[in-house]
Amino acid sequence: MLIRFIYSILLILVSPFFLYSLYKKKKGKPNVGKRWKEHFGLTPKLSNIHPLWIHAVSVGEVIAVSSLIKEIKKHSPEQAILLTTTTSTGAEQAAKLNDLVEHRYMPLDFSFAINFFLKKTHPSQLLIMETELWPNTLHCVAKAGLNITVINARLSQRSADRYSKVSAIFDLLANNINKILCQHQDDAQRFIELGIAKNKIEVTGSVKFDITISQQVKKQSQQLRSTLGSTRPIWIAASTHQGEDEQILAAHREVLKVIPNTLLILVPRHPERFNTVYSLTEDAGFNVIKRSQKTEMNKTIEVYLADTMGEMLVLLGAADICFMGGSLVGNKVGGHNLLEPAAIGLPTIIGPSFFNFTDITKQLCKASATTIINNSTELGNQVIYLLTNKEQQEQQGKAALKVVEENQGAITKTLHYLQRP
């Protein structure tokens, strides 16, 4: 009780900064608008009672949980689903599931906000996507008598080390959780080492492996590829972060010296950086156009800046090779998920920092489907190697797809454990 009280005091102190970041207007970022009250538990009444409550913090988690939501509705069409997100970009992604779920913003981790929310929504249980754990939320939900399950749970060694230093807080979280469905055995072992009872833990695999590339996405990718140039080599740098774009552009400059007609699709991770990256690319001397401008494509274009949201699969499907961002900026980010390009059958490249996706990256490396590089020079060399060795490019792409197919089934396993008492 004392620990939670101290935590709540600290939360009061830091919440203005969090809210400023959440509500700050940025070009390309959707606004929360009048729905800001939902962050304080003042949630509009739902259409259905006792929904299954699923929390997915932002865009990536919403995309990942979408297949599970579709499968739940397929088996139980009458099951109402409440999907919460914290961010406005997550809300925008959730809107694409409007025929399957009702969306609300997740209340801040204040007891009063959570209790307001629970009284308005009356959920039947809570599923938390990955490891979005908040002390007051877990306490209030458990006190209301609801089961709490963490699905697609992952725990990096870095996060485990941090939790071990504040074991009292972690115990406060863990005691309110009924079940943790982990992506990998490594994740499960770290939870156990932190003191979670073994009977609370199962390994289901990652639901992100259960990717289905729809015919619509494939068609859109083909159309985009035709627009960009069916015969020209294309590589994509996906989910890039500040400090990384310069390195990618330096690598692309070297690629162009060897393969002059190569096109780079550059996809910044955060929409508020779209204009900054555009200016950076232009200032570096590249002929660049934005996807949103619908500018006519021609052979002189060297960089195609993807400044739209929710189109990653389409963009990946139009490329020959993928570099995954968040991996060339030291240990700030820890990489991003290689599964989407792998599911499309692309050979992948990643920087040395991928601690958030160690298991997946290692599996792909073991299958010779991805290459780890250390700097922009190695990145450029690897892109050149793959673009000039079509057979190797195809072999790595097939190996990537095979890894995905061999690991599918997490959704079925997740549903199995959710249905057990």
Catalytic residue list: 61
Q: Give φ, ψ of 245 to 5 degrees.
A: -60, -40
Separation of alpha carbons 312 and 66, rounded Å = 15
Give the Cβ contact number of residue 14 at 10 Å: 9
DSSP structural state of residue 232? S
Instruction: Give the contacts of 145 (CB within 8 A, at least 6 positions apart).
Output: none
Q: Is 2 exposed, middle or buried (0-12, 13-18, 19+ CB in 10 A)?
A: exposed
CB 86 within 8 A of CB 106: yes
Unique residue bearing structure tokens 């006190």: 143
Pair of tokens at residue 229: 């140039």
Q: Tell me the two tokens of residue 134.
A: 């908040």
Closest among 63, 55, 99, 83 to 310, alpha carbons compared:
63
Q: Which residue has the tokens 């010779």?
A: 368
| Whole-number Å distance between alpha carbons of 290 and 308 | 9
| Owner of token pair 């057979």 | 391
E strand or H helix at 348, and its extent? strand 348-350
For residue 164 the two structure tokens come to 């071990």
Q: Which two tokens stand for residue 347?
A: 């050979």
d(CA 184, CA 188) in angstroms, rounded, equals 7
Mode of pairing for the β-strands spanning 179-182 and 348-350: unpaired
Q: What is the DSSP letter of 296?
A: P
Task: Give the whole-angstrom CA distance, residue 147 versus residue 417.
Answer: 13
* β-bridge partners, 202: 181
